[in-house]
């Protein structure tokens, strides 16, 4: 992984009060390893409990801001958060320690699941249980969709963009990349910076 210059100076004074003097790479790895091993049912609440409440490595406002960055970038929230928090605490090495920590337990567990599933996946008991599990996963994703819509969709047009995305992928089979670029650009242009520009011009 390349380091972009490695400037510790970027962590300026406005962040200093919440960051403890020195968090070691080992501490970062261990904390994220614990999160990675215990975060049943979604990583984000566990991240908050651990990093904000327990360790005070980031404050609540910062956490929310990091989460909103994580959500608009490609990548999973959990791993993007690990990178952002790790970077804040100890730069590139902190990021690497955090992402490996948060991924390792789940990766090892799923590796074992894969071995078991390959040998017993067609057993009647397993297929019956998995049918229930897969249906539950659909309900789970739908609940995430509802939760996110309530939180971040503003106005009718956002629902139009959402619907356009679904139609482009599922009906027109345009593929995710073309849809992302096409509808994404349209939606970004629709939300072009109005007020800010006026403020800028007034000054």
Residues of this chain, 128-147, that bind other proteins according to CB under 8 A: 128-146
Provide the minimum distance between the beta carbon of 47 and other proteins in the complex, in angstroms, as a whole number.
Answer: 11
Positions 23 through 82 that interact with other proteins (CB under 8 A): 36-43, 68-80
Report angle CA 94, 96, 100 to the nearest 5 degrees: 120
**Options 13, 16, 196, 203; binder of other proteins; rule CB under 8 A:** 196
Neighbours of 72 (CB within 10 A): 8
By beta-carbon proximity to other proteins, the closer residue of 59 and 161 is 161
By beta-carbon proximity to other proteins, the closer residue of 27 and 92 is 92
Q: Say how many Å lie between the first and final Cα of the chain, rounded.
A: 42
DSSP letter at 51 equals: I
Provide the minimum distance between the beta carbon of 180 and other proteins in the complex, in angstroms, as a whole number.
Answer: 6
By beta-carbon proximity to other proteins, the closer residue of 60 and 199 is 199
Positions 101 through 120 that interact with other proteins (CB under 8 A): 102-107, 109-111, 113-115, 117-118
By beta-carbon proximity to other proteins, the closer residue of 21 and 189 is 189
Provide the minimum distance between the beta carbon of 22 and other proteins in the complex, in angstroms, as a whole number.
Answer: 20
- CA 62, CA 53: separation in Å to the nearest integer? 13
**Options 16, 21, 124, 202; binder of other proteins; rule CB under 8 A:** 124
Q: Could you tell me which residues come within 8 angstroms of residue 40 by beta carbon, excluding any fewer than 6 positions away?
A: none
- CA 105, CA 128: separation in Å to the nearest integer? 27
Question: Where do we find the tokens 């994703």?
Answer: 141
Positions 2 through 21 that interact with other proteins (CB under 8 A): 2, 4, 7, 10
Structure tokens at 148: 């996110």
Structure tokens at 188: 């970004």
């Amino acid at each position: 992984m390349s380091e972009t210059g490695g400037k510790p100076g970027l962590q300026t004074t406005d962040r200093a009060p919440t960051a403890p003097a020195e968090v070691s790479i080992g501490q970062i790895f261990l904390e994220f390893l614990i999160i990675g091993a215990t975060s049943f049912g979604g990583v984000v609440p566990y991240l908050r409990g651990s990093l904000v409440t327990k360790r005070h490595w980031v404050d609540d406002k910062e956490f929310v801001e990091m989460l909103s960055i994580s959500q608009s970038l490609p990548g999973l929230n959990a791993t993007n958060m690990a990178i952002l928090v790790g970077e804040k605490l100890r730069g590139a090495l902190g990021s690497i320690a955090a992402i490996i920590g948060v991924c390792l337990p789940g990766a090892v567990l799923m590796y074992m699941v894969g071995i078991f599933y390959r040998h017993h996946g067609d057993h009647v008991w397993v297929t019956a249980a998995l049918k229930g599990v897969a249906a539950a996963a659909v309900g789970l994703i739908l609940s995430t969709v509802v939760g996110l819509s309530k939180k971040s969709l503003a106005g009718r047009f956002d629902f139009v963009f959402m619907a356009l995305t679904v139609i482009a992928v599922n009906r027109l089979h345009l593929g995710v990349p073309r849809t992302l670029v096409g509808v994404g650009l349209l939606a970004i242009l629709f939300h072009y910076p109005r007020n800010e520009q006026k403020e800028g011009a007034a000054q």
